[in-house]
Structure 1
Amino acid sequence: MSETNFKVLIVDDEPDILEFLKYNLIKEGYQIFAAGNGLEAVEIAKREHPHLIILDVMMPEMDGIETCEELRKTPELDDTIVVFFTARGEDYSQVAGYEAGADDYITKPIKPKVLKSKVSALLKRHHHSEAAGTTATKLEIGDLIIDRERYLVIHEGEELILPKKEFELLMLLASKPEKVFTREEIYRTVWGNKIVVGDRTIDVHIRKLREKIGDDYIKTIKGVGYRFVEQ
């Protein structure tokens, strides 16, 4: 897909920031849509199905966290990459963003060259999101069924709809039970070589998975990574 076919939705309540983002990304050939608040963003996203959403956190009416949670409830936006764009660097803000379903984080201010490089790297993974080594369409392990074709997890008979990255992380680990996946290997496979994500990204996603499927399936190998335990 050429860059001119990529749709990018930018969401911020500050007109100057919207103009900065629009100006620099339009020059790169992207189709740009803009929203000044979360409610408008959700409406545009459902209509246009953007490939990437750059989302401010602090906004009136519906903040970025709430907006991201609402976007992640929309099945047709499962493949949309959501990135928070904010000046807030506190750990709790980043954790909240990942828990809401965000894929990445960009900190304000950002230079145009860095912005363009970051957006390009994010969009390059849009058609390469399938985890390496996970070609099986369905895995059944203990009380857990992972159905790649339907993007569905069934745990003890209950259907679970997971955010995209949680699903891909679970599918990767479960594809080779008892294998220890290093953090670097997980980052590279699930998020992509050129994607720089926060240090706590994997930890947050693992914690959310454990909340949904229990603690027994995923074991932490301290200082190395994670291992899926065959039941």
Structure 2
Amino acid sequence: MHISVLIVEDEPAIIELLAANLKHAGFHPLPARNATIASALISEILPDLIVLDWMLPGMSGLQFMRKLRADSRTRDVPVIMLTARDEEQDRVDGLEAGADDYLVKPFSPKELVARIKAVLRRRAPQLTDDAVSVRSLTLDPATRRVFVKTAGDDMPVHLGPTEFKLLHYFMAHPERVHSRSLVLDQVWGDHVFIEERTIDVHVKRLRAALKPVGYDAIIETVRGSGYRLSGMAPSQPVATAA
């Protein structure tokens, strides 16, 4: 899965090392030497996660963090701070400013990759390859399979690529109400210019694909707000072969 990681770091050797390790781990690194360059990159494409150095020329990493959290567009982007400052108050300041994790230099690039994966599992599970389940319905990103577990054979659900991504997002965030604009950004991607009502078409297709296995009702329309996946919604009994 294509996951972009913005690296905001002013030391070229560290940027090169991190970019190489992230690329090897399957991520798409986006290097930036300072907050100004990082802001320009973010205006073009919203990264899935930001690795942010504290000590930057011009605007510090801490100041940039506060700017990110004050902007509705970047408020929810996960951030891992890198710093040589290991005092407890520094860690507290970074976390209170909105950092999701904090890594003190020197560190192992392998540890950073592990921290990135951990933060994504916690903050953006739809970007990982971890299987997700709601009752007997399971979606496995690694194998691109959706199926319902039964007493006999698993019953497959056949979805198009967009419906698969849509269901993955909903299943990774059950019981939450998602506005159409949020679904658009999270599933179609930032800076994709399509009508929000297009989402309704794909939700209709998703429900139609889930209906044969009795799970169409789990995608609820919340009037005036958007959509919600409810694990408590009633479902039809799943028919099994005799």
- Asked if structure 1 preserves the Cα contact closer than 8 Å seen for 2:69 and 2:76, the reply is no
Q: Tell whether 2:109 aligns with 1:118.
A: no
- Of all paired residues, the percent bearing the same amino acid is 38
**Secondary structure, aligned partner of 1:76:** coil
| Structure-2 residue corresponding to 1:44 | 41
- Give the TM-score normalised by structure 2: 0.51
Measured after TM superposition, the shift of residue 113 of structure 1 is 2.3
Measured after TM superposition, the shift of residue 73 of structure 1 is 2.0
Measured after TM superposition, the shift of residue 149 of structure 1 is 6.0
Deviations 1:20-75 (A, max 9, x none): 11010011121110111112212212321111100000111100011111111221
Measured after TM superposition, the shift of residue 9 of structure 1 is 0.2
| Structure-2 residue corresponding to 1:6 | 3
| Structure-1 residue corresponding to 2:28 | 31
- Asked if structure 2 preserves the Cα contact closer than 8 Å seen for 1:68 and 1:102, the reply is yes
Q: 1:111 to 1:75 in 2, by over 3 A?
A: same
- Asked if structure 1 preserves the Cα contact closer than 8 Å seen for 2:9 and 2:52, the reply is yes
Measured after TM superposition, the shift of residue 135 of structure 1 is 3.6
| Structure-2 residue corresponding to 1:56 | 53
Deviations 1:129-155 (A, max 9, x none): 99x999475xxxxxxxxxx869xxxxx
| Structure-2 residue corresponding to 1:101 | 98
Question: Which entry has the higher C-alpha Rg, 1 or 2?
Answer: 2
Letter in 2 for 1:21: L
- Distance, in Å, in 2 between the alignment partners of 1:20 and 1:116 is 12
**Secondary structure, aligned partner of 1:33:** strand
Q: 1:90 to 1:43 in 2, by over 3 A?
A: same
Question: Greater CA deviation, 76-85 or 60-69?
Answer: 76-85
Please provide the CA RMSD for this pair. 2.6
- Distance, in Å, in 1 between the alignment partners of 2:26 and 2:112 is 14
Q: Tell whether 2:64 aligns with 1:67.
A: yes
Measured after TM superposition, the shift of residue 94 of structure 1 is 1.3
- Distance, in Å, in 1 between the alignment partners of 2:173 and 2:24 is 37
Q: Tell whether 2:35 aligns with 1:18.
A: no
- Distance, in Å, in 2 between the alignment partners of 1:10 and 1:44 is 11
* Structure 1 residues 1-231: aligned runs within 5 Å: 2=1, 5-128=2-125, 135=175
* Bigger relative contact order (CA 8 A; separation at least 6): 1
- Distance, in Å, in 2 between the alignment partners of 1:62 and 1:136 is 35
Aligned residues: 136
